[in-house]
Amino acid sequence: MSAKGQEDPGEDLTSRVGAESPGSDMKRAAAKKLIERYFYQLTDGCGNPQCDNQHCASSGKVTNLTPNQAAAQAIQLFSQEARLCDGTQPNKVARTTIEPGPASLAKSLPVKSVNPTCSVEGKPVPYLTEPKLLDIIQQCKSEESYSLLIRTLGEVFSSAEALSRSFQKSAENDSPLAALLDRAPVDLLGPPRDLSKEAVRSLQGEDKEEDSSDPSPTVPHPDDTSVDLPAVRRAFTALWSLPGEAFESALVHALVTLADNIELDLRVFGIVPSDSTDSLLNVFLIVFEIPVLGSSEYLELALHMLCKAASCLPLTAQAKLARVWARHSKPRLQALLQALQQLITVKVIGGSFTRDYCVQDADTITAPTKVMKILYYASMLAGELDGPELRRDEEGDAGELEKTSTQRTSTQALQDPLAVELKICSLDARKPFVPFNDFYNEPLSDAIEMDKDFAYYKSEQPKKFSFMNYAFILTPATKTLGLYYDNRIRMYSERRMSFLQTVVGQPTNPYLRLKVRRDHLIDDALVELEMVAMENPTDLKKQLVVEFEGEQGVDEGGVSKEFFQLVVEEIFNPDYGMFTLQDDTQTTWFNPTSFESDAQFTLIGVVLGLAIYNNVILDVRFPMVVYRKLLGRKGAFADLEDWSPTLYRSLKELLDYTGEDMADTFMQTFRVGYKDVFGYELFHELREDGDQIYVMQSNKREFVDLYADFLLNRSVERQFKAFRRGFQMVTDESPLALLFRPEEVEQLVCGSKNFDFAELEAATEYEGGYTVDSEAVRNFWRVAHALPPESQRRLLQFTTGSDRVPVGGLSRLKMVIARHGPDSDRLPIAHTCFNVLLLPDYGTIEKLQDRLLKAINYSKGFGML
């Protein structure tokens, strides 16, 4: 027992402060904040060069203090209520000082809870903090020698263990100041000043990060990280303020060594413990913050190796890396994506690829692609996401389709494992932080041989890398090729099966043949398709062959194009009654009061699926919400902006209104009106007794969501469900949902909106004696470029059978102009199946223009061959 008035050195401090009141605890915490400000005033100063405070480093009156001396003096100044400069604020990471001279980094204080003697050699593990690095930089500048900096970077950045312990948020708890404050007696820390509650709260929240989104700093968020990323960025900014040649070569070699060792460990040991995984995540969080990864030696050596190591991380670790990036590294995502894109582009352009060694075999390309996928999902998580309530009930739809177990397995196999781990997909991203288009890599897309990539995609063992599993990096035109190969292989498979059945005495047609009359096109087509769908739905996977009754011709693709065009013109006409036309957008929507049966809408879905399956572009204008719904998402309020901009703006004004007089201002209840096919006004109550419930501030969001759900989902539920069922009859086993997002499916159905005849001219080939310099060819393009847009579309339709631009633009159309004899009065002829224009060698441009205009204006039906 100690004597009265004397302090027992062994007495537990917590036993003395445990009985203090909560108010006392708050004041104690506030006092510690003030002491910290005195500490940093003594060590760092207030930043005012004219400061005259004798207790401030900026005044020049404070002698060089060790951290322990500064901490003790800070407590003394606090008790004396000494002057405190206004500009003094505690740093985010506690400051420690490296002694002058070539001191080893091992002499620095260890991070809290880290064993300083756990390295192989029995030496302390080095680590870095922001203050340490700044001190080293300052010392190197003063000595005009960067040997200490080079040695330090080499030690820390070549070791996963050392780097994982660097820039830790907990480092501030191990400073001399923190240690002294924790050991200080209660009466010493008792605030001599009369601190108000407001002042206490203000002091306690002084150093809270402005960008922190963690609602409770004492409870760690599952997506949080122990790395102080703002400190890392400030430290790197200071580091790269130095001449690059002073340290960069050493840093690059350290990073290569680091990545090599991590990759070796992950490949040898496979799954690592969770604590080791967190340490590795710390490493990658730090190195991917390096601001110059996309330039010079870093791009050629370090970035590639780091990507190889990161791609070996376990799936759970990749998912956590994506979540941490989304939560803490939003400003870094775009720059990191650009670095990865530069690496891939450089390796694609500089690579020597053959059929035996293609881009899929080069880990310098595949490794950064794998890291880019983590970044892809991080961008979605960091952006605007739809809730899970907008996902359709896929099990119910699957039951209606009566899928086989093989089909269900195929559908499940299309899901990306990382997306499953993160519980998201691209359809959930309403607005990603980085636009989806920024992930396209055109040089890579052009270099990929999609037939080989598709073979890799379908391979079972050994599993090979296929860019179809990383479709975000491919342009829509390249992805269309992947879908084309899948469709064609299914068609050839159906032909082989038909041949085998014929051999064994059960002859079947190897094609999906439709024989229709022009005057009864819709009736004939729908009846035949309905019979196929009922008797043998797998026949829909066969290649489509159309025959118009009473007309000669073999369908090599051109007749089918005309068939689809005529069907679309008639069935999507509002007068037909199945679809309506939105006034302000001129888009097609389902008629909620249509009298047509479900079977009719199912068959329209089949037609749309067949068009995609047979690589035919349609003149259809659906709002984007249709394609989102086809891929498995319900319509929501945000979709109204494209569906009906006028209505969307009105509802947005209602949501943005802040007055309490909403009922009197808007006079809106939970009863909404709409019109039937005859123009009669109908009403629907969004809630029970909706006409008695006015929209108020408390329920306006509910009203908007219910209204959007009614317009986009419930009012057309029967029609759309049947339509989607027909669409999936054709596309259910294809990789459509894996490869394409809703806006890309729209391109697939409707073609590109970029109508540029210069692209068509650059891609056109010449036969029969014509060359690019032939007089008739030059006259043809002069006439074609001078035509108004509508006539240009008719020319495109005359030549190719469709006036729509394929995905990727007109450069994807391989049109051929062939010489069709000498000058004559004959009109040009087109083989639409092969995109061939037979053009006589007209003597003058006037004659060519006259014959060409007559051909394209009077070519309805089989003026085309």
Just list the catalytic residues. Answer: 833
Cis peptide before 462 (omega within 30 of 0): yes
Supply 578's token pair.
């199945």
Supply 543's token pair.
């290649």
Q: How far apart are CA 403 and CA 407, in angstroms?
A: 6
For the beta carbon of residue 582, count every other beta carbon within 10 angstroms. Answer: 17
The contacts of residue 497 (CB under 8 Å, 6+ apart) are 508
Which string of b and e fits 168-192 if b means at least 16 CB within 10 Å? bbebbebbbbbbbbeebeeeebebe
Transcribe 211-258 into DSSP letters.
T---S-TTS--TT--SB-HHHHHHHHHHHTTS-GGGTHHHHHHHHHHH
Q: How far apart are CA 253 and CA 102, in angstroms?
A: 22
Supply 494's token pair.
């159906």
Transcribe 396-446 into DSSP letters.
HHHHHHT--HHHHHHHHHTS-HHHHHHT--GGGEEE-SS-GGGG--HHHHH
User: Using an 8 Å Cβ cutoff, are 352 and 451 in contact?
Assistant: no
User: Using an 8 Å Cβ cutoff, are 134 and 181 in contact?
Assistant: no
Q: How far apart are CA 132 and CA 709, in angstroms?
A: 57
Torsion sign, CA atoms 731, 735, 741, 745? negative
Q: Find, among 434, 326, 321, the residue nearest to 381 by Cα.
A: 326
Q: Return the residue matching tokens 């679309």.
A: 568
| Burial class, 754, CB count within 10 angstroms (exposed 0-12 / middle 13-18 / buried 19+) | exposed
DSSP state of 787: S
Q: Could you tell me if residue 679 is left (phi over 0), alpha (psi between -120 and 50 degrees) or otherwise beta?
A: left
Q: How far apart are CA 706 and CA 714, in angstroms?
A: 10
The contacts of residue 691 (CB under 8 Å, 6+ apart) are 669, 670, 671, 683, 685
Q: Return the residue matching tokens 């024989």.
A: 515
Q: How far apart are CA 714 and CA 718, in angstroms?
A: 8
Alpha helices (H) in 614-716, listed in sequence order:
624-630, 640-643, 645-656, 662-666, 700-712
3-state secondary structure 351-379: CCCCCCCCHHHCHHHHHHHHHHHHHHHHH
User: Using an 8 Å Cβ cutoff, are 856 and 794 in contact?
Assistant: yes
CA dihedral of 650, 652, 658, 664, whole degrees rounded to 10? 20
Tell me the three state secondary structure of residue 785. helix
Which string of b and e fits 274-301 if b means at least 16 CB within 10 Å? eebbebbbbbbbbbbbbbbbbeebbbee
In a 13 Å sphere around the CA of 564, the CA atoms on its Cβ side amount to: 30
Q: How far apart are CA 604 and CA 525, in angstroms?
A: 10
Q: How far apart are CA 161 and CA 170, in angstroms?
A: 16
Q: How far apart are CA 266 and CA 280, in angstroms?
A: 10
Q: How far apart are CA 507 and CA 499, in angstroms?
A: 8
